[in-house]
């Protein structure tokens, strides 16, 4: 059982919960600009002051079950004690140091640990800040590695419905959508391949290589699960086919595992599920267990060697102020140590719980399709498609009233919980979804807080 906490401790001593909430929201409405938020229409944000396990707590101590891992980052659970301790210990000894010309144990130990767990052949780790910058690094490494060897390959191929981040290179690789339409004149051209869940990706890739293979630097994919594009699951055999074709053509395969990495699809990395070895692999989100921001791009020794030269112009001129921040690296190292047999058992348990509920929902009125991979489950609602579908906002508001955090991708609701989430907590998520499908839109019921398993 998770500790429900003392609601009296939600607000600082001497500051009533109502007053604390008012202070937070006063400053928020006056000064804060939230991501993916239309401030003209959005309700007031929920002030959160504490988190533990699968639960978030507001200023009044009201619990909110985090069914989406706080935007897909929280793996083992909120405020996981071993990671918190690693952060505390590291902060007391080395907080930050420039990573050009200097190094430190948290970064080197983490790199060695990652190389030991990544698909074989990925031997070099370049640190950045988040998933989007990890993708930027991968694209730049691919293009420049060819240029350093005298080959002009600048074309990138990507999948329909893909999402790779919100910086310009990542946006260019992503599908054109409401996220990117405003900036389209500024984005570089990308060869688009069909979404493997809908079309013949391999035939399109064959045609692209035949027509423009000498221009093609890399194919970038979200392996086996297209995330923000609608939690679209695709087949391992297609990923294997992409790898075979890119290898034969001397084209890099970039695996964007920002979402799929660290156990979300079953094994530690989705590429492992298909026994595929990419040339570049992007990581973030669950890398630190969700406690601190950190990005990393893994590369092969062949790509690294393309930058080793007496010509300084062949240097990879890319970096971030907080590259390989020691505290974030210490958190990531502590998180990796928690991926043991017990963690695997917990992930399998969540998979089974999803399967049980999805089998019940499949064919239910209001449900167009269900899909699952690993600990990620998605329910496509029978409503207008697209990220701006109103049904997503309705479900998010309804579930919030019930004490469940969901953030549907338009008409696609998904459950992607921390690995500590119990079966009863997962049951509560699906119970709220079922009530919504049954027509409820208000009448808050509440979960009552953490459950006994």
Over residues 331-367, the pLDDT tens digits come to 999 999 999 999 999 999 999 999 999 999 999 999 9
Average pLDDT over residues 239-244: 98
How far is the C-alpha of 409 from the C-alpha of 387, rounded, in Å? 5
Domain spans, the chain: 17-79+341-438, 81-338
Catalytic residue, chosen from 256, 279, 419, 430, is 256
Buried b (16+ CB within 10 A) or exposed e, 233-248: bbebebbebbbebbee
Catalytic one among 2, 57, 127, 163?
A: 163
Does residue 285 carry a catalytic annotation? yes
| Distance (Å, whole) CA 321 – CA 236 | 38
In the chain, what percentage of residues exceed pLDDT 70?
Answer: 94
Annotated catalytic residue 9: no
For residue range 272-290, list pLDDT tens digits in order.
999 999 999 999 999 999 9
Task: Measure the CA–CA gap between 235 and 174, rounded to whole angstroms.
Answer: 20
Phi, psi torsion values for 333, nearest 5 degrees: -65, -40
pLDDT of residue 17: 87
**Per-residue pLDDT tens over the stretch 36-90:** 999 998 999 999 999 999 999 999 999 999 999 999 999 999 999 999 999 999 9
321 is an annotated ligand-binding site residue = yes
The pLDDT tens digits of the residues spanning 167-177 come to: 999 999 999 99
Instruction: Give the helix/strand (H/E) hosting 404.
Output: strand 404-405
Q: Is the pLDDT of residue 1 over 60?
A: no
Q: Check residues 444 and 28 and name the one with the higher pLDDT.
A: 28
Report d(CA 397, CA 408) in Å as an integer: 10
Q: Any binding-site annotation on 285? A: yes
Catalytic one of 9, 18, 36, 275: 36
The length of the chain in residues reads: 453
Q: Could you tell me the sign of the dihedral formed by the alpha carbons of 20, 22, 26, 29, in that order?
A: positive
Q: What is the CATH number of domain 17-79+341-438?
A: 3.90.1150.10
Q: What is the CATH number of domain 81-338?
A: 3.40.640.10
pLDDT at 7: 43
Known binder of ligand: residue 55? no
pLDDT of 453 above 50: no
**What pLDDT is stored for residue 15 in this prediction?**
72
Least confident range from 48-57, 177-186, 187-196, 439-448: namely 439-448
Mean of pLDDT values over 240-266: 98
- Say if residue 407 carries a ligand binding annotation: yes
Q: Is 256 annotated as a binding residue?
A: yes
Complete DSSP assignment for 123-147:
EEEEEESSHHHHHHHHHHHHHHHHH
Q: Report the DSSP pairing between strands 295-300 and 122-128.
A: antiparallel
174 is in an annotated binding site: no
**Model pLDDT, residue 3:** 42
Has residue 448 got a pLDDT over 80? no
387 counts as catalytic? no
Read off the pLDDT of each residue in 88-111 and give the average, rounded to a whole number. 98
- The pLDDT of residue 314 is above 60: yes
- How far apart are alpha carbons 339 and 347 in whole angstroms? 10
CB of 273 closer than 8 Å to CB of 238 = no
Half-sphere exposure of 344 (CA within 13 A, CB side): 6
Cα 328 to Cα 281, 318, 415: the distances in Å are: 19, 19, 27
Residue 70 annotated as part of some ligand binding site: no
DSSP per residue, 237-264 = HHHHHHHHHHHHHT-EEEEE-TTTTTTT
CA distance 440 to 317: 55
365 labeled binding residue: no
Is 320 known as a binding-site position? yes
What's the rounded Cα separation, in Å, for the pair 397 and 122? 43
Q: What is the pLDDT of residues 315-337, one digit of tens each?
A: 999 999 999 999 999 999 999 99
Active-site residue flag, 52? no
pLDDT band at 449, cuts 50/70/90?
Answer: low
Its pTM stands at 0.94
34 token code pair: 């939230």
Can you tell me the distance from the alpha carbon of 234 to that of 254, in angstroms, rounded to the nearest whole number? 16
Q: Is the pLDDT of residue 414 over 70?
A: yes
Residue from 57, 130, 279, 285 carrying the catalytic annotation: 285
SS3 120: coil
């Amino acid at each position: 059982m998770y500790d429900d906490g003392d609601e009296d401790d939600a607000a600082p001593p001497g500051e009533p919960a109502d007053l604390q909430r008012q202070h937070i929201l006063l400053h928020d409405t006056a000064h804060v600009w939230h991501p993916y938020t239309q401030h003209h229409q959005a309700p007031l944000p929920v002030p959160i002051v504490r988190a533990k396990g699968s639960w978030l707590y507001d200023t009044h101590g009201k619990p909110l079950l985090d069914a989406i891992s706080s935007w897909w980052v929280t793996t083992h659970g909120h405020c996981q004690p071993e990671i918190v301790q690693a952060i505390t210990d590291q902060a007391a000894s080395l907080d930050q140091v420039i990573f050009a010309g200097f190094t430190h144990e948290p970064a080197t130990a983490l790199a060695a640990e990652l190389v030991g767990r990544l698909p074989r052949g990925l031997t070099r780790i370049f640190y950045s800040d988040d998933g989007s910058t990890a993708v930027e690094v991968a694209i730049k490494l691919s293009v420049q590695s060819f240029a350093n060897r005298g080959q002009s390959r600048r074309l990138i191929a990507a999948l329909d419905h893909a999402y790779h981040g919100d910086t310009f290179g990542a946006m260019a690789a992503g599908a054109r959508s409401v996220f990117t339409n405003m900036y389209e004149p500024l984005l570089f051209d990308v060869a688009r391949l069909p979404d493997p869940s809908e079309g013949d990706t391999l035939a399109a890739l064959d045609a692209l290589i035949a027509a423009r293979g000498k221009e093609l630097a890399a194919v970038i994919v979200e392996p086996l699960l297209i995330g923000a594009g609608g939690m679209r699951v695709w087949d391992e055999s297609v990923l294997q086919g992409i790898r075979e074709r890119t290898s034969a053509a001397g084209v890099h395969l970039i695996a964007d595992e920002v979402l799929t990495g660290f156990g979300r699809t079953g094994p530690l990395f989705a590429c492992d599920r298909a026994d595929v070895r990419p040339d570049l692999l992007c990581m973030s989100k669950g890398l630190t267990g969700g406690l601190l921001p950190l990005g990393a791009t893994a590369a092969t020794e062949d790509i690294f060697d393309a930058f080793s030269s007496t010509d300084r112009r062949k240097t990879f001129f890319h970096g971030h102020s907080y590259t390989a921040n020691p505290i974030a690296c210490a958190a990531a190292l502590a998180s990796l140590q928690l991926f043991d047999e017990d963690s695997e058992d917990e992930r399998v348990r969540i998979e089974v719980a999803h399967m049980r509920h999805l089998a019940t929902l499949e064919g239910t009125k209001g449900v167009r399709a269900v899909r699952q991979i690993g600990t990620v489950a998605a329910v496509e609602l029978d409503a207008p498609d697209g990220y701006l579908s109103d049904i997503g906002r309705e479900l998010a508001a309804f579930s919030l009233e019930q004490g469940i955090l969901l953030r549907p991708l338009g008409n696609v609701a998904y459950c992607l919980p921390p690995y500590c989430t119990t079966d009863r907590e997962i049951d509560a998520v699906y119970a709220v979804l079922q009530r919504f499908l049954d027509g409820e839109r208000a009448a808050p019921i509440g979960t009552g807080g953490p459950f006994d398993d």
